[in-house]
Amino acid sequence: MDQRTYIMIKPDAVKRGLIAPIIQRFENTGLVIERLELAVLTREQAAANYVEHEGKPFYEGLIEYITSGPVVKMVLAGPEAVMVCRKLMGATNPRDAAPGTVRGDFGLTVDANVVHGSDSSESARREIDIFFGE
C-alpha cells in the first residue's frame, strides 16, 4: 500500500537554484510526485505548520524565514514514503547529516537546511491539508 508524504524545498534552496537536484534525489527513490507547486507561503500556512513551536524563542524567525520567498511544495507517494524521505533528507542539522543526504550535501545551517519533510503519516495528512487543502 502506498503512503503519502509532504516535502517542501525551503526558500534558501530555491534561491540557490537547487530545485532540480533536490527533486531528482526524491524521484531517484522511486517515489511518485503527485502534486508540485512553487508558491510563497502565507503567514497562516506557516503558523499552522509550525504550531508546535509557537512561543519558542526561534518561532518568529522561523515564520519570517519560511515566508521570505518561494518554496516548492510536493506530495510524494510510494511504499513507506515518510521513512524513505526522512532517510534521504538526513539529520535536521546539516553538520550532522551524512554525505549523500539532501541536507548533508546542500544544507548550510540548521536554519537553512534546504528541505522540510513530514515526520509521520499523521503529520503528512495534516501538512498536505495545510498546503494543498486536501
Which one of 10, 25, 73, 116 is the catalytic residue?
116
Q: Which fold has domain 3-132?
A: Alpha-Beta Plaits (3.30.70)
| Domain boundaries of the chain, sorted by first residue | 3-132
Write down the pLDDT at residue 8. Answer: 98
CA atoms within 13 A on the CB side of 109: 4
> Is 48 exposed, middle or buried, given 0-12, 13-18 or 19+ CB atoms closer than 10 A?
middle
Under-70 pLDDT residues of the chain? 1, 134
Can you count the helices (H) and strands (E) in the chain? 7, 4
Write down the pLDDT at residue 85. Answer: 98
Write down the pLDDT at residue 111. Answer: 83
53 is annotated as an active-site residue: no
Write down the pLDDT at residue 35. Answer: 98
Write down the pLDDT at residue 112. Answer: 85
Write down the pLDDT at residue 41. Answer: 97
CB 90 within 8 A of CB 61: no
Write down the pLDDT at residue 134. Answer: 67
